[in-house]
Structure 1
Amino acid sequence: MRLLRLGPAGAERPCVAADDGTVYDLSPVTADIDGAFLAGDGIARARAALAEGALSVVDDPGDGTGLRVGSPIARPGAVICIGQNYAAHAAESGSAPPEVPIIFFKHPNTVVGPYDDVLVPRGSGKTDWEVELGVVLGRPARYLDTVEEALACVAGYVVSNDVSERAFQLEDSGGQWSKGKCCETFNPLGPWLVPAADVDDPQALRLRSWVNGEPRQNSSTADMVFGVGELILHLSRYLTLDPGDLVNTGTPEGVALSGRFPYLRAGDEMELEIERLGRQRQRLGQG
């Protein structure tokens, strides 16, 4: 089962895709795929409605060739990101692997659909791609004690592109990274939210990215410095994560910051994929 949202920006309709790819209207179960839905046992209710045949078919493949595919979750209350969480990426950034998670924030309004255009900011010369495993919360995470408790707070997983402007992030930052992370359209998400119960092991997923059809990143979530459970546990000691919040868990090596590839320009195309979670694609436009 996969959750998705179809329709114009701001007017997306909640849907669910069955294992055979058929897309169904989830409106009888919920008005949207948001924190309230996830916290209210929404995934179980959607699964039951699907099994009972209570939902009508949507005549759309949900792959971007029909209706617009929106972010699979409504705008989250918070987007929390983890920096340098793959040792090889830390190395290509000129740093040693972190001893504790590095945390920064993206503005929630950066979240867009998986096939929406990404805008190169005005004055940008160093716009970069980052394929990441996105973790969506399904219950509050506050002062947790164990990794098991942390993983129990996860509603599902999603492909996330933590688009970055490196000059804004590192040269104009004033010591923080968020200037290079919060430009509009800088967090394409989706195409689907896959429930945590349908992902056997979040630390065994292949991540890949391409620019203009050429390979860039090819790694596995097994190479994370801090795993999903460790991250949620750690974050819960410093802030409260709410249902519907998004955690971007870091990117592997193979970004333009490495110096091995050119930065993005208007007209380029990014593709990102995570095993079992789907594939997304964006064209670069000018902001």
Structure 2
Amino acid sequence: MRLVTHVTAGAERPGALVPDGDRERLLDLSPALGDGVTVTDVLADPALTARARDAVGQAEADTTALAALPWADDARLAPPVRPGKILCLGYNYRGHVPDGQDPTTDDPEFPDVFVKTPNTLSGPHDVITVPPVADDVDYEGEIAVVIGRRAHRVGVEDAMDHVAGYALFDDVSDRSWQRRSSQWTMGKCLDGFGQLGPAVVTADEVADFHDLTVEVERDGVVTVSQSTSTMVFRLPFLVHYLSQVMTLEPGDVISTGTPQKLPEALAAHRPLVHGDAVTIRVAGLGALTTRFAGAYPETSGPARAGAATPSTEGVHA
């Protein structure tokens, strides 16, 4: 299933995207699931999962009812889940290394883990505001893993039992703030700088997570194209590793890292500004387009005065 959270009359409701030819229609799952149920609830509860599947199957089988559903691209989608934790991986694709490091060197011993705070979360139809203090905004196309079953110190062999599905994630970052310290928090956690969606594709729909290609397009040009088979730390290990320290709860997100940009894209680096858009595509998971808009300066205080000059140097995680 392709589960979404849609906004109707100002309220968030669970839904599913149902194929209809070359497009998808939006099925509201609330009548089948009851009031107050979220997509996270569906992912965590086998009974709710079964009811959602039944509703989707009935819609697919009834062409008359299917034709009456609204087109998905006419709906407004919120983030499909609202995670308690957004855990991200840096340098998790071979060839993607810190600036100045040889990309052919040995793999790191441990994953490079950082967090995105809740204020970063945005949905597939949200426009990302570039604030006045951000002058080197960059994109990172990633696959996000959504936890469906509580994971506490799980073994590698059992880790995938805790994965409910996958979504696309844009780890938007401001490099000038990221370069200011050894900790990346300020460059990673600007408001709205974590776009998630459009749907959570349930794990049964993906035959092999490590046989997907992450592709990113900017200005009509493909800037990233690399297979998940080149990940340094594979997904079962990541779930195992993270669960040794913190309990992973249903709805939590692990974003598995971005591949290195293609050489031509690195050479032509330009910070994202008002009017720019970036699209992430992964076959089977769909496409996520991040649109950017500028904000009017609010102040001209010390934070702005110390901003770094945009460049291709610095961390790119």
Residue 49 of structure 1 corresponds to 55
Mark the CA change 1:71 to 1:10 in structure 2 (over 3 Å): closer, same or farther: farther
How far apart are the structure 2 equivalents of 1:203 and 1:33? 28
Mark the CA change 1:241 to 1:259 in structure 2 (over 3 Å): closer, same or farther: farther
For 1:35, give the aligned amino acid.
Answer: T
Q: What does 1:208-247 align with in structure 2 at a 5 Å threshold? A: 208-247=215-254
Residue 163 of structure 1 corresponds to 172
How far is 1:52 from its partner?
4.4
SS of structure 2 residue aligned to 1:36:
helix
For 1:11, give the aligned amino acid.
Answer: A
Q: Does 1:197 align with 2:204?
A: yes
Number of equivalences: 281
Q: Is the 8 A contact 2:119 2:190 kept in 1?
A: no
How far apart are the structure 2 equivalents of 1:129 and 1:255? 13
Residue 150 of structure 1 corresponds to 159
Q: What does 1:1-287 align with in structure 2 at a 5 Å threshold? A: 1-7=1-7, 11-20=11-20, 21-28=24-31, 29-30=33-34, 31-41=36-46, 42-52=48-58, 59-63=69-73, 66-73=74-81, 75-90=82-97, 94=101, 97-146=107-156, 148-171=157-180, 173=181, 175-254=182-261, 258=266, 260-287=268-295
Q: Is the 8 A contact 1:8 1:70 kept in 2?
A: no
SS of structure 2 residue aligned to 1:77:
coil
Question: Runs of 5+ in structure 1 lacking a partner?
Answer: none
Residue 311 of structure 2 corresponds to none
How far is 1:116 from its partner?
1.6
Q: Is the 8 A contact 2:3 2:39 kept in 1?
A: no
Mark the CA change 1:38 to 1:105 in structure 2 (over 3 Å): closer, same or farther: same
Q: Is the 8 A contact 2:5 2:39 kept in 1?
A: no
For 2:109, give the aligned amino acid.
Answer: E
How far apart are the structure 1 equivalents of 2:101 and 2:267? 11
Aligned CA-pair RMSD:
2.5
How far is 1:122 from its partner?
2.1
In the superposition, the TM-score normalised over structure 2's length comes to 0.81
Taking every aligned residue pair, what percent have the same amino acid on both sides? 37
In the superposition, the TM-score normalised over structure 1's length comes to 0.89
How far apart are the structure 2 equivalents of 1:90 and 1:201? 25
Q: Is the 8 A contact 1:92 1:253 kept in 2?
A: no
How far is 1:166 from its partner?
1.0
Q: CA deviation digits over 1:80-130, x for unaligned, max 9? A: 111110121216574654221111100123121113211113221211100
Q: CA deviation digits over 1:240-282, x for unaligned, max 9? A: 1100001111000118994542121111111111111011112
SS of structure 2 residue aligned to 1:242:
coil
Mark the CA change 1:10 to 1:253 in structure 2 (over 3 Å): closer, same or farther: farther
How far apart are the structure 2 equivalents of 1:93 and 1:156? 35
Question: Runs of 5+ in structure 2 lacking a partner?
Answer: 296-317
